[in-house]
Structure 1
Amino acid sequence: MFAYEFENPKFIVSHVKIEHDEKGNGRIWFKKQDFEVDETESIQISAHIMERLEALWGELAYLSDGVRHQSEERDYGHLGTMTLTVNRDGVKRTDSFNWTENSKAKDLTDEYKKISNQFIWVFDMEVARKNQPLEAPRIMKSIDSYIRRDSISDPEQLLPYLRKLQDDERIPLIARNHAGRLVERIEKSRKD
């Protein structure tokens, strides 16, 4: 079992926890500002991203090195605390930090942030589709921004969902057209 957790009560998304197995099956828990309880969703991390995560965990040698990843020189607690946990073959290790100089630990937490961005965005869009369709254009802008900034783990994994949004008459036409443009951009980047 692999786990990533982020906490900062001052952020809009104040708590995120991702747990998954070696095949990418798992769950995400997250709490948004003004929500009383965590939302929980099942997730399936794509094989492509699982390969990247396995490589990052391997490079970090997390179970065997025992190194604390918190920077001794810098403390950025106001930016939130990240916790990485591995539980494999009866051996468990957990380490929390708010800043690290270890580039491999940073890359790993960045990848988990991208995964959380992706799945929380899908949740937000589902809420908009069912309850607040006029929010869909704003939410489409956010995924566009995430994709442009490389802040989504696997844009290709979103293609089926974006195609579904393209044809969903519950959301405004501007959001459906935006979904179509994103599909084209993701498919074009896949060919390049």
Structure 2
Amino acid sequence: MSVKALVWVALFFCVAEVLGLQSLKSEESSGSTEYYYRFDSPTFEMMRAELRFDQAGRGQFMFRRKADEEEIKLELHLLPTTLQRINTYLTEAQYLTSEENYQGDRDMSHLGVMTFRFRQGAHQRQVSFNYTRHPTMRLLAELLRHIVTQESRIFAIQLARQYAPLDLDKQLATLQREVKNGWVAEPEKLLPLLEELQSDEGVLLIARRRAGDIVRLIKPR
């Protein structure tokens, strides 16, 4: 092989290596922020619930109930306003730089244990607690719990609609109570599904009316 050919081969591998490194850096950058939440409650019907999402609010919602043989995995897509609230809480708590132990003076482990992990670039911190007096972390825990309530209820409603139509009104009644009590993180996200149920003549009239009631409950917000 001539010297010129050797130079071209060397140049090719150099360029390939640079492009490979750039691609790797790009992949690392795109996945540089991750949010993870887990709630373990062996005595509850839902024994474990997990949220895992990126800086765009996209990820997975996973949960396992006592009656389930396997974990259920669903796609998750949070609204930008929800992600903004989470980021605001983390900033207010100075989460990544703080060394505060958020566990309160009361042991409420019988009601479940929360684990939260936040990774941003090279910085990562994970905490677990079953009760906290920290005001900002209480708000964060509440919001994440309401996301779980919301996503699991959507799943239950869709399941009932497809396989157990007589159970649909019961699921909607539970959702109605959850919305009234402020236990749903993104009520507006439910509107397309509820409006579809409201106009679906294949759905029992009582369930259609209930869906309409929830729509009216959400829209004034």
> TM-score if structure 2 supplies the norm length?
0.82
Partner Cα separation in structure 1 for residue 188 and residue 135 of structure 2: 26
Q: Is 1:118 aligned to residue 140 of structure 2?
A: no
Task: Specify the code of the residue in structure 1 equivalent to 2:73.
Answer: T
1:84 aligns with 2:152: no
1:64 matched to which residue of 2? Answer: 97
- Among all aligned residue pairs of Structure 1 and Structure 2, give the percentage whose two residues are the same amino acid: 28
Deviation at 1:122, TM superposition (A): 0.5
Q: Considering Cα pairs closer than 8 Å and 6+ residues apart, tell me whether 1 or 2 has the greater RCO.
A: 1
Provide, for residues 31-66 of structure 1, a one-character-per-residue CA deviation record: whole Å limited to 9, x for no partner: 112112111100111112111111111111111102
Distance 2:198 2:156 in 1: 16
- The amino acid of 2:128's aligned partner reads S
Q: Distance in 2 between matches of 1:171 and 1:7?
A: 35
User: In 1, distance between residues paired with 2:132 and 2:99?
Assistant: 15
- What is the SS of the residue equivalent to 2:97? helix
Q: 1:134 aligns with which of 145, 163, 166?
A: 166
Alignment of 1:1-192 (within 5 A): 1-71=34-104, 73-187=105-219, 189-190=220-221
Q: Report the Cα offset of residue 83 of structure 1.
A: 0.4
Counterpart-to-counterpart distance in 1, 2:167 and 2:112: 28
Alpha-carbon distance in structure 2 between the residues aligned to 1:25 and 1:37? 23
Normalising by structure 1, report the TM-score: 0.94
SS, match of residue 34 in structure 1: coil
Runs of 4+ in 1 over 4 A off after TM superposition: none
RMSD: 1.1
Aligned residues: 188
Distance 1:66 1:170 in 2: 55
Equivalent-residue separation in structure 2 for 1:132 and 1:178 (angstroms): 16
Between 84-93 and 116-125, the greater mean CA deviation after superposition: 84-93
Deviation at 1:169, TM superposition (A): 3.5
Shift of 1:132: 0.6
Deviation at 1:96, TM superposition (A): 0.6
Bigger radius of gyration among the two: 2
Given that residues 30 and 39 in structure 1 are in contact (C-alpha distance below 8 angstroms), is that contact kept between their aligned partners in structure 2? yes
Kept in 2: contact 1:133–1:170 (CA 8 A): no
